[in-house]
Amino acid sequence: MLFFSYFKDLVGREVTVELKNDLAIRGTLHSVDQYLNIKLENTRVVDQDKFPHMLSVRNCFIRGSVVRYVQLPPDGVDIDLLHDATRREARGG
Amino acid sequence: MLGGPGLESVVDQLISVITNDGRNIVGILKGFDQATNIILDESHERVYSTKEGVQQLVLGLYIIRGDNISIIGELDEELDASLDLSEVRAHPLKPVIH
């Protein structure tokens, strides 16, 4: 639930999503749901010459289960806040 | 692809699906559920290879299990029409390794 809220705060920011098939997709975070499925707008594949498979896709839905990493904007993470929130959640509320 | 986090906004539109085994299937989204199981109508597979251009295989009506789906992309039909797929060469995508 914590990371769901966290990602919701990042809506509208530029992120790069690296998938478990080594594809990396950059785009504007449009929305996220409870499974951490991600919707991106104005997408481009990071290595388009190697992966031309999504050349005509501008908006996409990425299934949460295939996400390996999400690269965030450097100012998109308040580490102290996230620390506190994860500790609070670990304590059970 | 506006609207909420779900796939409501692309129902009855042409989408491009990349599956966990690296296949690319293009078709019209007819339905979906919570688990991202989807129904695709008038679908075809696009087979990428380095030896020749993209091959298109007609599949018809397909149901794809959500577990096996990586990406669902909204296909920009204008952009797609401007692509000469017979000139596109690439290695097939790698399968997803969890």
Name the packing angle between helices A79-90 and A2-9 (round to 10°).
Answer: 160
User: Does the structure show a pLDDT above 90 at A1?
Assistant: no
A87: part of which helix (H) or strand (E)?
helix A79-90
Nearest to A36 by CA among A69, A10, A3: A3
Range of the domain at B64: 8-87
B31-90 tens-digit pLDDT: 999 999 999 999 999 999 999 999 999 999 999 999 999 999 999 999 999 999 999 999
Q: Number of folded domains in chain B?
A: 1
Q: What pLDDT shows up at residue A93? A: 66
Q: Number of folded domains in chain A?
A: 1
SS3 content of chain B, % helix, strand, coil (to 5): 15, 45, 45
State how far residue B4 is from chain A, nearest Cα, in angstroms: 7
Residues of B in contact with A66 (CB under 8 A): 20, 70-71, 96
User: Does the structure show a pLDDT above 90 at A76?
Assistant: no
Model-level pTM? 0.95
| CATH code of residue A25 | 2.30.30.100
Q: Please state the rounded mean pLDDT for residues A87-93.
A: 88
| CATH code of residue B37 | 2.30.30.100
Range of the domain at A18: 2-90
State how far residue A48 is from chain B, nearest Cα, in angstroms: 10
Rounded to whole angstroms, how far apart are CA atoms A55 and A49? 10
